[in-house]
Structure 1
Amino acid sequence: MPPAAPSGMPALSRFGVPLGLAGLGGGWSAARSTLGSPAWPEEILYGAAGSLWLIMTAVYVFRGLRRKGAFRADLRHELAGPFASFIPLVGILLSAHYSQYLPPWGAWLCMAFIAALALVAAQLLAHWVTGGVSMQSIHPGYLLPVVAGSFVASIGFSSIHAHDAAIAAFGIGAFFWLVVGTVVTVRLMTGGELPAAAKTGLSAYLAAPATANIAWMVSHPGPLGAVQLGLTGVLLIMVLLQVMLLPEYRKLPFTQMFWVFTFPVGATTNYAIRWLAATDLPGREIYAWTVLGLATAFTLAVAARTATTAIAGPK
């Protein structure tokens, strides 16, 4: 059997759909615990994310078994490789949510998916540091497996009450946020314009501080401390960066890669609701519902556009 050519961006980017749905589910989960919202929105979102993730994973694995070296080839894809982390990332989010219903099994599944993410991240790092990618091919999506991924792992550990492991995972994310974040930013500032297919990855600049804030907050419940306030400041400037990037995003033709935007939006919404609940800001509940409503509308709009595009077919 000949080695497989990488399936690349299309196959791996599809996992942005369940990732985005699970991210928004986390926002509704925060609303349930702080605003008293009903449980059904988050359960629908997590249920849809879980169903899609299972189907997509089965299809991806089945196709990979028929093509020798398929997953390794996808990992080495300069543009799409980092998106391989979406598969275990969704698994962590789902198992962390469902661990409340399946206490022993949910915790074990969460740990298994964290271990899978660690293996994927380690393989990617080994490929990167041995000259496997050119500086020109680097894009903000490289932050996802080792930065946002580590913070999501920290959230997963906190959900199963493994506090020490949560702090360790947070430390890993902080380290790579500094190291990989510096490399990515230098490339963007000096290496010319990103290809259109990679520009949605600029939302990773929002995913990193959003997941970092959630991870620190759930592992350090109580009054907001100096670290939390500092992380919140980073998130705010990254939100402003995304606003400034809107003209660039508007130029992009709609593709399934737009789902990459939905997870950072969901994670930011999740933290915004938690942060507002921890303050005495007047009208905080109105602000929280507004943010949640906008994030839900955005995700539904992407889903509707995806459906209409699929029905219309290629032009």
Structure 2
Amino acid sequence: MNGKASMQSVGTDEATTNGLDASQGTPDVTDPHPAAQSGTDGTGRSPAVRAQTISLLSISLGSAGLGGAWQSAATTLAAPMWVSDALFALSGAVWLVLLAQYVRHGGGRWRNVLHDLHHPGQGFALAYVPIIGMLAAGHVFRHGVDAARWGYAVFAVLAAVVAARLLAHWVTGGLASAPLHPGYLLPVVSAPFISSATASTLGLPEVAEATFAVGVLYWLAFGTVILGGLVAHGGKMPPPARPTLTVLVIPPAVGGLAWTAAHHGTFDAVGQGFAGLLIFTLLVVVFLLPDLRQQSFHYGYWIFSFPVAAGTNFLLLWLRGTDVPGWRPVSWLLLATVSTAFVALYAATLRHARRSRTGAAA
């Protein structure tokens, strides 16, 4: 098994309280910007529509994550590669449609992008755009390494710019009025780990090492602060925000994928350490499930998709790399269970969209 299979990693679904609200069509009332409160950004376009569009990119991210799991399964289990190709094609189509909608509603103007980045609750979600691009570049490398590297370079630089701009905003008081939640790990932790995994897949070890170091540093820094805040104030989280707790699964999953990709699929002490962190975090999430229940289905359910997909991807590689007894049937059972859950999620999403259109027409 080689590092190329390990990358396919990732596919991070990190959303926020406001991302969940936006996906249900509820404007964010915490936005301190008058333009957002008035429903327009001065151009006649709504920041609320842009926020909803960006939050819906979790559908693309989750699909790419499942595609990465199937790509790993193609190496470890001889699973058909066309399933992974189809999932990445779906992810790319959703990504293109939503990005076009974001631009149409004012996202093509730097002023509006900056406004959205500085949103205290959801600004980090713009990192979805380059993350999905990096995942796609890592998937298509077998069709042309040079083109994949150029695409990766563009999206990796964009991810770095988004993360650096957000971090500069946050350390100067940009988060003073917003409660910390795991979604903030997306641009400064998950994105560097995904960048590292993709770089290893594309044969860029120096870049992989550099971006992995960034992910580790800010995971230790932000992860400690966020976890401490959750322990101290997590009970005050409103029910729509609680599913964001599943985002805690993503750093050990994508970090483990990045490390495994850099070491050609072998599991040394560090790889086993990432596996331990992931399994323990999954156990914590299992005990949180009663608190994560929602009253009805909404698009915010996609927040669960990337943590599940990325965790599944890493576990598939771990089962094979550690040669766990019965790893092959266990791997197939895990992949089939998660894929079935995704099919149910796709079906529920289509039903919800159809009902929403019917209700709007009425």
TM-score range, shorter chain: over 0.9
1:269 aligns with 2:312: yes
Residue in structure 1 matched with residue 296 of structure 2 by the alignment: 253
The change in CA–CA distance for 1:253 and 1:139 in structure 2 (over 3 A counts) is farther
How far apart, in 2, do the equivalents of 1:237 and 1:222 lie? Answer: 21
How far apart, in 1, do the equivalents of 2:322 and 2:65 lie? Answer: 23
Structure with more contact order per residue of length (Cα contacts < 8 Å, sep ≥ 6)? 2
For residues 181-227 of structure 1, what are the alpha-carbon distances to aligned partners after superposition, in whole Å with 9 as ceiling and x for unaligned? 11111221223422334322212100111001100001012542111
> What TM-score do you get using the length of structure 1 for normalisation?
0.95
The change in CA–CA distance for 1:77 and 1:180 in structure 2 (over 3 A counts) is same
How far apart, in 2, do the equivalents of 1:252 and 1:211 lie? Answer: 30
Residue in structure 2 matched with residue 139 of structure 1 by the alignment: 181
For residues 25-70 of structure 1, what are the alpha-carbon distances to aligned partners after superposition, in whole Å with 9 as ceiling and x for unaligned? 0000000011001111101100100111111111112222576722
1:6 aligns with 2:42: no
The change in CA–CA distance for 1:300 and 1:222 in structure 2 (over 3 A counts) is closer
Letter in 2 for 1:217: T
CA contact (8 A) 2:239 2:294 kept: no
> What TM-score do you get using the length of structure 2 for normalisation?
0.83
Greater Cα offset, 185-194 or 33-42: 185-194
1:60 aligns with 2:102: yes
Letter in 1 for 2:70: W
How far apart, in 2, do the equivalents of 1:67 and 1:219 lie? Answer: 38
- Off by >6 Å, runs of 4+ in structure 1: none
> Of residues 193, 204, 219 in structure 2, which corresponds to 1:162?
204
In structure 2, stretches of 5+ residues that fail to align are: 1-40
1:188 aligns with 2:230: yes
Q: How does 1:291-302 map to 2 (within 5 A)?
A: 291-302=334-345
1:79 aligns with 2:121: yes
1:254 shift after superposition: 2.2
Q: How does 1:22-101 map to 2 (within 5 A)?
A: 22-65=64-107, 69-101=111-143
Could you say what the CA RMSD is over the residues aligned between the two structures, in angstroms? 1.9
CA contact (8 A) 1:79 1:198 kept: no
For residues 123-171 of structure 1, what are the alpha-carbon distances to aligned partners after superposition, in whole Å with 9 as ceiling and x for unaligned? 1101110001136522110011111111101011111111111011111
The change in CA–CA distance for 1:68 and 1:37 in structure 2 (over 3 A counts) is closer
How far apart, in 2, do the equivalents of 1:222 and 1:248 lie? Answer: 36
In structure 1, stretches of 5+ residues that fail to align are: none
Query: Matched residues, percent identical?
Result: 35
Q: For 1:282, what is the secondary structure of its paired residue?
A: coil
> Of residues 231, 235, 249 in structure 1, which corresponds to 2:274?
231
Residue in structure 2 matched with residue 286 of structure 1 by the alignment: 329
How far apart, in 2, do the equivalents of 1:66 and 1:110 lie? Answer: 21
